[in-house]
Structure 1
């Protein structure tokens, strides 16, 4: 067994602890010269396992300069880990400097860290890319011995993971002795992640370590006496139950899936908070000051509850949280395991969690998630080949630091796992794009960012390019944002204000530009836990004042919507197909499924149920693939094209995570019954060929996807010194360039990147293809004379008006009652609400 140094051994003894076997195994593997992937449950001491080799090495071999680089997917996690690592360092009396570097770190400290770095630096993938773009990166990272990648599963499936892999490959070249320790609690395919970390730091293989699991979690689904909604995502019906739950526990984390849901739930809880319990709000659009204030309050134990999004998903060590509540369906088993792990954050104590479904279909998904978590099932995504737009950004960043040798750069890039299969021809095309913009843009000097000099090396064309690169580095492309500043009201009549509060007030955070574009002066909305009135926009700031309103709007955000995982979708289909599994469901849901079985049929797990029925002056086709909203939206787009060719006169469609509804002027049921329309042909997977290509060619989605690729690749720059482009400016620029490339260079590297992104992200083509193969020759048609009970939720989504707050809940409830009455007619007794 690996021996600890006396200093560390005495510290463990003073705490009354013993080093866990997996912590010692990480230390042993690193001393043997291996990288390590440690998979361990929450509370198993992953953080200490990751840093124990650093502490031991710095005790045995004191040094100046950067020794360990810790990279986290979340700024909050980096700050939390730095705080938790600081305690043992101080208690051991070690002269080890630990600092953080994120976008929230003051510029003066970031500047100093480049020349006087700490021994251990906590940072993010974006800050690593920024540091690597400086000419002094060779000196900064030359002393580096270890890289710790925390919550690796949360990075490797995104473009942030591509950027990180390229950064690690560069670090391995600058410091050949460096080794990687990766930490994760939820990994579906550990061998792939082991290869991912080992690829750039060969020759020694990476060691895969699995820590034993802790106490199984205590899970439940909210049993509410309220009427379960048919559709919607607010879970407003459950707010009284949630408030009672908060009162019964010490500290509760309430996770939601979007920032809009967070704002709404927080306001709803405050509206009934008669006991003035300290309840806080935390999401990524709030100002850093507000987020840090909430985090500090959590650490000090003064909060009873925090409503939060994925900003607090990962690794935050709050041992006093005794309940996690998931409001809305979790969408994935691995994601839910991460969130559950925030409770009790101790290995030997069971975590306690409760699911709160927002609608009836979500009850089924929550039950599937509960079973999956109890089984310890994992459904995290598999890493994919790296993005070409990310590669273009990285190549430019390397050139900002040092002139590039083409052969060395290619070898370095292909040592990164996502780019291991990159061909020399494609690499050269990306390099040509960075240097000239490509064939169609070669005549424009502003796209020429690199030039090849007489010595055969590639250099940046001028120093301003490096400055621009550093302003725009990163792969997270959010919708254009405006800062939200609280200012003095200007006599607004719509929505009473609380009066003067001082000009140039505090910054509340950021909000998406398109939401503000919909407002007129005096409109009220929720933000940062307050109700504010819109006063106007000045440059990149939206001015708001405090306000009172009974019906404020809820800001909607384009990002943050999780897809239903394939794993959970399969479980939902199995629950539906097995009436024996309904025993655990609420009475309202069982009755709903019984009604469906009486009025129509239930979907089974291996086929696709297609219902057709007339309603008003239209004819509907509703199917239930359970493959997630993105795949269903793509299916709807392609099916309507085919129905047009079949002269079925489609008029529109709507998709949810669970179902797809299409309405037509023609009688679809009659067309199918008479064999003039074949469902097997309609749902044939060949729709992903020419139909998909034709639709992409004429859709706006390609332009929207191209915009993101153009921003990441550096073709379009959002930020310039002292100013930032508006969303409209970026859209106009990217649309013009797209039209030029599509017409004159359709095989341009960015057009290729755009097509791949659309297929794997916004359209979910791979998943749709698997679904179509699964149901091939297994499409079942049920012709009805009226809407079925199972179709009620998806039809509620048709033509939804932007109604907010309680008014929206009332409208949905009234519409649902009308639809279910229509579905069951007068011949079936029911007590459905």
Structure 2
């Protein structure tokens, strides 16, 4: 057993602390090439990650970078820095700790390259930038350890793929570099270990005692949830009562828009003037930092928030978490629950608030899964090639490279372990020439081969490459400021929303109602407004789809044998559905057909998630149009798709044939705006389109215009171009989620239960109240116009004789 040096042991003893078993295990295994520590929130996993560093550096270490700490959030890195500097100072260790991100002043970043600190706290983007400099070998020379915090969060996005490529580069520069991953919420530890490790099965997994199960329940309210909607407004009195009963409450929402609406309504009902804040990614940095400081100081009783507070920042004395709206994902719910009672072996307390009646079932399913420690997680696909293209460009910016050596290095990154040489060469050819259709254009001739090595054709291009590094794609947003000289920044709204505003319109941002005054130099100028019923800003942010695991559990809960777990109002609703129709089951597809208000309706209960159900609506209405069934529109939720039109469907099986759906998807995607948007994102990441030129960030419209021209050109002249292949893969996996449709079709195995009914069913009724209806422009519209014309002519006595 490795003992702590006397100064560290004395510091622990002075506080009455002793090492947790997993912290001791991290010390004992400090020399392992790769370690993954899975420990509950509040279990001291970050300190466990740094203890070997503090022991190895000692009281008076030599100059040079020893440990690199990587976080998915700048705020988390800054918070860790604050928490780490205090014990280092109190113990008397002469260790320099600094953070580096986009917010770090340029002068400090320049000094860090010349004279690195002992411990550098940074983000994946800043690490990629550091590695793109020609002096990277000197900056990282002698480094011993890299610590990746919240590694599970990074593993779910392209930022994680970018980071693993950067770590592969680091390991090539610094042989023997040790990797440590820290995580609190993992559904498949071996898969995460493979993601982190340099080679398969080379990462040891340490699992801490998970501690007591959380104290988690559904919030009881006097008023039952509404039939539709997503705001949770009905529960505000009950939530305010919980805020009064606790010291600090985090109130999570799934989207920024919902958080704004809820905060506004909460404030209107806050008769006791409790100090309540709001925190999400579209707010100005100054606004977020003000709320963060108030939380640390303990002066806020509640914070309405989104995923911006999901991760492991110690926000002070939080003793209750409230999740408004179904969590959609068990792992995300567990992560958020962990924000309460951020202490080891203290149970977290959380309450779930379903936003509507169907979400009651999902919340119960999520509660049961959390208690059963049943976490969801979709299997990771291979590393995306647009990220690899960017990495090749960044490598070239640092200096000439050998293709064989770089290929071997890239294959040591977990996400790219299965990359073929042909796949690598495709990316290299694209980076060097732009590909077949673009190689005639000088601007995309970026690499040349000289003396057996690839290098930048124009060394001056390195600066442009560095300005465009990163996998986070900015949505088209505009800054919002209060009007007047030196007006305070409030945050950002989407460009499309700003374009819809006229002077005098009001909207919500940062929990306050503001009036739109003018758009000046790409800044939305506003003034405060006392109004109570504003428009709503269309904030960017993810709309989560219900996970496969939760969908399975929901289908189980719908069955009579499990209905006792549901509140009475929801159980009665489902019982009525059983009497009028039947309930969906996992091994078949329930489809209801019924007339309503002069239209024929078809409701398919696929439970495939919002994106997939939306795509199903698009494809089925297209197939119905081809079959002369005259669809007029559809609406989709996570659970079902409701289609309405002029004719009844008597046999849905041909419409759902997988081959036909795939052909319909291909033709629909070919000219769809979804593909153009996906292409733009891939083209920006891969380096085909610059997001920053000469230090100025392009507007969304500028980037979209240039990418649309490229997309149309490649489709016409080079349909097998690498970026078009990447675009299709991305669209199928993410935006349209066709894989979930195929999974649903495989699950039902052709078993379709079509019920022809005479009226709307209890389960279908809430879909009529859903927002986001999609009209179908086709033969049905023409038929309606023709029938209306006949009626008018007949009324005028002009009908054909």
TM-score (structure 1 length as normaliser): 0.90
Distance in 1 of aligned mates of 2:676 and 2:587: 36
Partner of 1:727: 700
Alpha carbons of structure 1 residues 505 and 464: separation in structure 2 relative to 1, 3 Å: farther
- Contact 2:256 2:540 (C-alpha < 8 Å) held by counterparts: no
Correspondence list, 1:107-122, <5 A = 107-122=106-121
Distance in 2 of aligned mates of 1:610 and 1:365: 21
Partner of 1:64: 63
Distance in 1 of aligned mates of 2:90 and 2:573: 60
User: Offset of 1:699 from its aligned partner?
Assistant: 2.2
User: Offset of 1:61 from its aligned partner?
Assistant: 8.0
- Whether 2:527 is the aligned partner of 1:545: answer yes
User: Offset of 1:799 from its aligned partner?
Assistant: 6.2
Correspondence list, 1:707-726, <5 A = 707-726=680-699
Partner of 2:574: 593
- Whether 2:319 is the aligned partner of 1:322: answer yes
- SS of residue paired to 2:223: coil
Distance in 2 of aligned mates of 1:278 and 1:109: 37
Alpha carbons of structure 1 residues 798 and 534: separation in structure 2 relative to 1, 3 Å: closer
Distance in 2 of aligned mates of 1:535 and 1:463: 46
Alpha carbons of structure 1 residues 799 and 707: separation in structure 2 relative to 1, 3 Å: closer
2:716 equivalent among 743, 747, 750: 743
- Contact 1:710 1:716 (C-alpha < 8 Å) held by counterparts: yes
- Whether 2:295 is the aligned partner of 1:313: answer no
- Contact 2:60 2:93 (C-alpha < 8 Å) held by counterparts: no
- Contact 2:39 2:184 (C-alpha < 8 Å) held by counterparts: yes
Partner of 1:377: 374
User: Offset of 1:60 from its aligned partner?
Assistant: 7.7
- Contact 2:546 2:638 (C-alpha < 8 Å) held by counterparts: yes
Partner of 1:136: 135
Q: Give ranges in structure 1 of 5+ residues lacking alignment.
A: 489-502, 802-833
Partner of 2:19: 19
User: Offset of 1:722 from its aligned partner?
Assistant: 4.4
Distance in 2 of aligned mates of 1:297 and 1:550: 26
Partner of 1:759: 732
- Contact 1:620 1:663 (C-alpha < 8 Å) held by counterparts: yes
Correspondence list, 1:71-220, <5 A = 71-199=70-198, 205-220=202-217
Partner of 2:601: 620
Correspondence list, 1:344-423, <5 A = 344-423=341-420
- SS of residue paired to 2:467: helix
Distance in 1 of aligned mates of 2:642 and 2:269: 37
1:332 equivalent among 325, 329, 354: 329
1:777 equivalent among 742, 745, 750: 750
Distance in 2 of aligned mates of 1:142 and 1:799: 55
- Whether 2:475 is the aligned partner of 1:479: answer yes
Q: String of CA shifts for 1:355-398, please: whole Å, max 9, x gaps.
A: 01110111111101111111111113333211111111111111
Distance in 2 of aligned mates of 1:156 and 1:741: 31
- SS of residue paired to 2:558: helix
- Contact 1:36 1:181 (C-alpha < 8 Å) held by counterparts: yes
Partner of 1:806: none
- SS of residue paired to 2:108: helix
Distance in 2 of aligned mates of 1:795 and 1:574: 25
- SS of residue paired to 2:653: helix
- Contact 2:292 2:315 (C-alpha < 8 Å) held by counterparts: no
Partner of 2:270: 273
Distance in 1 of aligned mates of 2:184 and 2:378: 14
User: Offset of 1:688 from its aligned partner?
Assistant: 4.9
Distance in 1 of aligned mates of 2:761 and 2:469: 51
Distance in 1 of aligned mates of 2:280 and 2:289: 11
- Contact 2:45 2:182 (C-alpha < 8 Å) held by counterparts: yes
Distance in 2 of aligned mates of 1:585 and 1:706: 44
Alpha carbons of structure 1 residues 319 and 538: separation in structure 2 relative to 1, 3 Å: closer
- Whether 2:425 is the aligned partner of 1:456: answer no
TM-score (structure 2 length as normaliser): 0.94
- SS of residue paired to 1:441: coil
- Whether 2:499 is the aligned partner of 1:517: answer yes
Alpha carbons of structure 1 residues 104 and 262: separation in structure 2 relative to 1, 3 Å: farther
Distance in 2 of aligned mates of 1:14 and 1:25: 22
- Provide the alpha-carbon RMSD of the alignment: 1.7
- SS of residue paired to 2:29: helix
Range with bigger deviation, 688-697 or 179-188: 688-697
Q: String of CA shifts for 1:82-127, please: whole Å, max 9, x gaps.
A: 2222222122111112222222223332222222222111111111
Range with bigger deviation, 82-91 or 47-56: 82-91
- Contact 2:252 2:305 (C-alpha < 8 Å) held by counterparts: yes
Distance in 2 of aligned mates of 1:10 and 1:168: 35
User: Offset of 1:66 from its aligned partner?
Assistant: 1.3
Partner of 1:564: 546
- Whether 2:632 is the aligned partner of 1:651: answer yes
- Whether 2:615 is the aligned partner of 1:642: answer no
Distance in 2 of aligned mates of 1:569 and 1:126: 35
Distance in 2 of aligned mates of 1:642 and 1:556: 32
2:516 equivalent among 534, 551, 575: 534
Distance in 1 of aligned mates of 2:615 and 2:540: 18
Range with bigger deviation, 75-84 or 637-646: 637-646
- SS of residue paired to 2:601: strand
Range with bigger deviation, 353-362 or 528-537: 528-537
Partner of 1:576: 558
Range with bigger deviation, 568-577 or 634-643: 634-643
Alpha carbons of structure 1 residues 60 and 180: separation in structure 2 relative to 1, 3 Å: farther
- Contact 1:148 1:181 (C-alpha < 8 Å) held by counterparts: yes
Partner of 1:633: 614
Alpha carbons of structure 1 residues 140 and 799: separation in structure 2 relative to 1, 3 Å: closer
Q: String of CA shifts for 1:142-198, please: whole Å, max 9, x gaps.
A: 121111111111111211111011011011011112111101111111112212222
- SS of residue paired to 1:790: coil
Alpha carbons of structure 1 residues 535 and 448: separation in structure 2 relative to 1, 3 Å: farther
The count of aligned residue pairs is 774
- Contact 1:76 1:311 (C-alpha < 8 Å) held by counterparts: no
Distance in 2 of aligned mates of 1:654 and 1:256: 23
- Contact 1:684 1:776 (C-alpha < 8 Å) held by counterparts: no
User: Offset of 1:663 from its aligned partner?
Assistant: 1.4
